[in-house]
A and B are shown apart, each in its own frame.
Chain A
Amino acid sequence: MSAAPVLNPFSLFFASIFTSNILLANFLGMCSFISISKDGKSSNGLGFAVTVVLGITSAVNWAVLHFVLIPLQLEYLRYIVFIITIAATVQILEMIIDRVSQALYMSLGIFLPLITVNCAILGVSLFIDIRAYTFVQSVIYGVGSGLGWWLAIAALSAIRKKTDKSPVPAGLKGPGITMITIGFMAMAFMGFSGMLQVQ
Chain B
Amino acid sequence: MSAVGTILKENLWTNNPIFMQVLGICSALAVTNLLTNTMVMTIGVTFVTAMSSLTVSLIRQFVPRKVRMIVQTLIIAFYVIIVDILLKAYAPDISRQLGPYVGLIITNCIIMGRLEAFAQSNPPLLSTWDGMTAGFGYMAVLLVIAFVRELLGFGSLFGVRIMPSGFVPWTIMVTAPSAFFLLGIIIWVGKTIMNREGAPA
Contact = CB atoms under 8 A, between A and B. Distances in A.
- On whether A and B touch (CB less than 8 Å), the answer reads yes
Interface of A: 24-31, 34, 76-80, 83, 117-120, 122-123, 126-127, 129-130, 169-172, 175-180, 182-184, 186-187, 190
A170 B107 contact: no
Nearest to A170: B195
A123 B191 CA distance: 30
Contacts of B175: 186, 190
Ordered nearest first, which 10 A-B pairs have the shortest CB separation? A179-B184, A183-B180, A171-B192, A126-B100, A180-B184, A119-B107, A186-B177, A176-B187, A171-B191, A119-B26
B181 A123 contact: no
B189 interface: yes
B194 to A, nearest CB: 8
Contacts of B183: 179
B27 A171 contact: no
Contacts of B184: 172, 175-180, 183
A169 B107 contact: no
A1 to B, nearest CB: 11
Given A27-B179, A190-B175, A170 B23 contact: no
Nearest to A21: B176
B26 A175 contact: no
B108 interface: yes
Interface stretch (B60-68, B76-84, B160-168): B76-84
Q: Chain B, interface size: which category?
A: 35 or more
Interface of B: 19, 22-30, 73-74, 77-78, 80-81, 84-85, 99-100, 103-104, 106-109, 112, 172, 175-181, 183-185, 187-192, 195, 201
Contact of B108 (A78, A119, A126): A119
A127 B101 CA distance: 10
A6 to B, nearest CB: 21
Contact of B81 (A76, A117, A118, A127): A76
A79 B84 contact: yes
A172 B188 contact: yes
B176 A24 contact: yes
A78 B84 CA distance: 11
A119 B183 CA distance: 19
B77 A122 contact: no
A119 B190 CA distance: 26
A163 to B, nearest CB: 12
Contacts of A176: 184-185, 187-188, 191
Contacts of A83: 73, 77, 106-107
30 contacts: A27-B27, A27-B179, A28-B26, A28-B104, A30-B26, A31-B24, A31-B25, A79-B84, A80-B77, A80-B78, A80-B81, A83-B77, A83-B106, A83-B107, A119-B27, A122-B104, A122-B106, A123-B100, A126-B100, A127-B100, A170-B192, A170-B201, A171-B190, A171-B195, A175-B22, A176-B185, A183-B177, A184-B177, A187-B172, A190-B176
